[in-house]
Structure 1
C-alpha cells in the first residue's frame, strides 16, 4: 500500500548521526498527532543518552497507520520494530502472540506509577504488553467568550439538549464561527470513536446478547439523527472530511464554539503559541442523553509496543522506556511547560502541583478516565467489553465500514436511516461470516 504523508512527515525521518555511526537501527511507526511530532523534536535527548541506537520514524495519518501496522504484524512483515497502537489492539494482538511481553522493566521505570486503568487495559493475565505514551477520555471543550456573548451557560455535566442549545446560540456562519465541531472523517478510530461514544451516552449498544447488530434500535436512530442535525445546522462545511487534527486546527483558529473530543486535545487548544483562543477555553463532561447514566465511556491510550517478530528487541525496549518514562515527561515540561506534558498515564503527574497549576483541564481528564467502565460501556446488557469500540478482532473492519456510511450521510449522499440500514446489513453479514451468529 502506498503511504500518504504530509510534507513535514513525508518520508522516514532519521534522528541522529549518519547510519554508519550506530550499532543498531530501529524503525518506529507512529501517528501524526501533536504529541508524537513533539517527541521527534526532542530526540536529541535520546540520541545523547543512547548514541548507539538510530531511530527511524515512519509517521502516518491515523487511518493509514492502522492499516500499515495491522497488515505488517498480521503477515509477519517485520517492517517495524516499534508500533504505535492503542487499547483496542494491545489485548487482541497479545493473545495472538504478536507482541513482546514487557515483564522485565527496570525499577527506575516505576511501572507501579502507571494509572491502574491504563495498565490494566494494556495487560493480559497480569503481563504488560505495551507502554502508554498518553491516555485520554473525552470531554466538551468550549469557547467561554462566545458562551458569555451568547448569554448561555454550559453545565459541568451537560445533556445533549444543552449542547444543541449552546451550538445554536454560538453559531455565526457569517463570521465563520460554527457552534460545534465533531469528527466526520470515516474510520473506526475517527468518526466512529465519537459516534460510538455518543451512542453509549444515548443508552445504545453495538450488539445484543446474541451478537445481533443493533443499528435498527431507537437508540441508534436517535444518536445518528441528532449527530446529523448538530453538524448540518451548526457544524463547519466539509465536516465529513474532518478528523481529530482538522477539528483541532478549526478550534485553535477560533472557528468552533464547542468541540467534543479526546481530553488530550486540551493541552493544544490552550497553547498560546498555536491557539488564538488559548485564554478562552472551558471544559465540561462528555454529554449524556437526559435520563441515561452514561457519559460515553470513551477510553483510549496511544501506546508503544514491540512486535514479537522484531530482531531489535533490546534497542526497541530501550526506546519505548525512554519515550514513556517520567524522565521524558520532565523533559517535555522543561522545554514547553507542564501544560504540554503527555497526560493520562501516570499517577505522579496528577500529584504534581506544577502540572495541576499549569493544566486547568487536569482534573477533568483524570475524573473522566477514572469514570470509564471498560467492562460495561453500555447501560444495556452486552456480550462484549470495550469503550468507544468493541474489543473483538472483527471490529476494525466493521467499524470502518460503518464509519463510511455515517460519513456518507453527513456529506448528504444518503439519509441517516439509509446509512443505518446499510450498517445493519453489512455488520450482520460480517458477524455471520465470523461465526458469532447463525
Structure 2
C-alpha cells in the first residue's frame, strides 16, 4: 500500500462518481461489453471495512456495462475457496482478496495477474487521479514480486493493545505506552469481574493460522521464541515457546471471555464495544468500530503499542487485504476488475467513506499516506499510534534471534497455512484442557519438523 487521501469538497464528491466511472471504463478502451454487461465477482473477508466496501460499491460504483457482485465470507471460508480456486484455475471470482502471505507465492505460481501493464496503459490524467506513489510503499512491496505489483492493498493493518479507560480508572490502573505481557496479564486479572459481567481481556480464540494464530504468533515473537533455527530445525519445544503458550492460556482462561474457541475478531469487537471488557489485543484496523458514532465506548478507549517481553522492539504484525486479478478470466473481465480495484483503492473512495461516515469507521487504513494528513482522519484516537507502529516494524527480522524466515504473524512459506493452523488446533485443545502442554508442544514440534523435511528446507 502507499500514501493516503485529501478531503474533498461537496462538488468533488459529486464529481467522484463521474470520475470513478471514467476509470472504471478502463485505461484506454473501457470495459463496455460488446455482448452484454460484464459482471465482476468479488469475495471479501467478513470484517467491518469489507462490509462497508460492499455497501458503498452497491450505492456508488457506476461503470458503463459493468455490474459488481460482492460476497462477504468468513475469513477461513474465504481462504479455503480462494486457495482451492487458484490451484485449480477456477474463474468464479474475478478479484482475488488475499494478503502478503499468499501474494508472492501465488505470483510465482502464476495464480495472479501482473498489474504493471494495466498501470502502464493508463493516461496521464488517470495516473494523476490515482496517484500511485501515494500508496504506502511497505504495504505495496509486500504484495509485489521483483518490484512488480500483483495486487493493490485495499487496507492495511498492524496490531496494538486497546483498553477501556473507564475500567482502568475504576481499578486504579495506569496503562504504560509500551506494556509487557506480564503487565497485561496482571491488569486483566484485576479488571476481570465475572459477577458483574466484566471480562478482563479478549483475544481471538477460534483456531486458524489467520485467526488465533495471528495474535498468538506475535506473542511467540515477543517471548523470544521462534519456529525454526537457521538450520531449519523446529524450535517449538523450548522454554520461551512454552512461556508464550502458558501466557495465552492464562489470560483467556483466568480473565477472558466465555466460549473462548468461538471468538473471531467479530466477537471480540462486539465484546469490547459493549464496555464490558478491559483490553483487546488485535489489528489496528479493528479500532474504528469502537469509535463509531453508535459505539457505547466511543472516546473511552486507549491505544498503546503491542505488548512485548524478551523481544524489546516493536512486536506488532503487518498485514493487508489486497485486491488481485484472477488470471483465468477473459481480458474484458480483467479490465473491469482492474477498474474496480482502482476505484476501491483511490483517494476518491477514502473521501467517500469520510463523507458517508465522518467517524472514520469505514475508511481504509494504512494503504495511503495522504489519509493520515486528512484532518478528519488524523484526529481519530487510533491514527497516531497506528502510524507509529507501522513506521517501526521490521518484516524481515521477526524474532529475537536470527531466523531463516520472514513474516511477523506468520512465516512466509507455503506450508504455514497448514502447519500454523495445526498449531492453533493444538493450542485450542490445550486452552480448554483437552490435552496437556507437553502433548500439544510435542505434536506441534513434530508437525513443524515434518514440514521442514517435506519442503526441502532442512538440508
> Does the 8 Å contact 2:291/2:359 carry over to 1?
no
- Displacement of 1:355 in angstroms is 1.3
Secondary structure of residue in 2 paired with 1:339: coil
Residues 225-240 of structure 1: matches in 2 within 5 Å? Answer: 225-240=246-261
1:31 and 2:55 are equivalent in the alignment:
no
Paired residue for 1:287, among 299, 307, 314? 307
> Does the 8 Å contact 2:160/2:303 carry over to 1?
yes
Cα displacement string for residues 157-183 of structure 1 (whole angstroms, at most 9, x for unaligned residues): 111121112111111111111111011
> Does the 8 Å contact 1:132/1:303 carry over to 2?
yes
- Give the match for residue 256 of structure 1: 277
Cα displacement string for residues 26-67 of structure 1 (whole angstroms, at most 9, x for unaligned residues): 2111111111111111124544x3141111223210111001
Where relative contact order (Cα < 8 A, 6+ residues apart) is larger, the structure is 2
Paired residue for 1:392, among 391, 395, 413? 413
- Give the match for residue 110 of structure 2: 97
Shift >3 Å, 4+ stretches = 19-22, 44-47
> Does the 8 Å contact 2:343/2:349 carry over to 1?
yes
Secondary structure of residue in 1 paired with 2:360: helix
- Displacement of 1:435 in angstroms is 1.9
Cα displacement string for residues 230-262 of structure 1 (whole angstroms, at most 9, x for unaligned residues): 111000111112111111111112231100000
> Does the 8 Å contact 2:157/2:285 carry over to 1?
yes
Paired residue for 2:355, among 321, 331, 334? 334
Distance 1:266 1:93 in 2: 30
Distance 2:396 2:233 in 1: 19
Secondary structure of residue in 2 paired with 1:308: coil
1:367 and 2:381 are equivalent in the alignment:
no
Distance 1:22 1:365 in 2: 45
1:148 and 2:169 are equivalent in the alignment:
yes
Which consecutive residues of structure 2, in runs of 5 or more, have no partner in the other structure? 1-32
* Aligned pairs, number: 416
> Does the 8 Å contact 1:46/1:322 carry over to 2?
no
Cα displacement string for residues 132-151 of structure 1 (whole angstroms, at most 9, x for unaligned residues): 11111100000000000000
Which consecutive residues of structure 1, in runs of 5 or more, have no partner in the other structure? 1-18
- Give the match for residue 208 of structure 1: 229
> Does the 8 Å contact 2:293/2:359 carry over to 1?
no
Secondary structure of residue in 1 paired with 2:404: coil
- Give the match for residue 117 of structure 1: 138
RMSD, aligned α-carbons: 1.7
- Give the match for residue 56 of structure 1: 69
- Give the match for residue 350 of structure 1: 372
Distance 1:338 1:28 in 2: 26
Normalising by structure 2, we get a TM-score of 0.88
> Does the 8 Å contact 1:297/1:373 carry over to 2?
no
Paired residue for 1:310, among 306, 309, 329? 329
Secondary structure of residue in 1 paired with 2:232: coil
Distance 2:276 2:368 in 1: 33
- Give the match for residue 426 of structure 1: 447
Secondary structure of residue in 2 paired with 1:179: strand
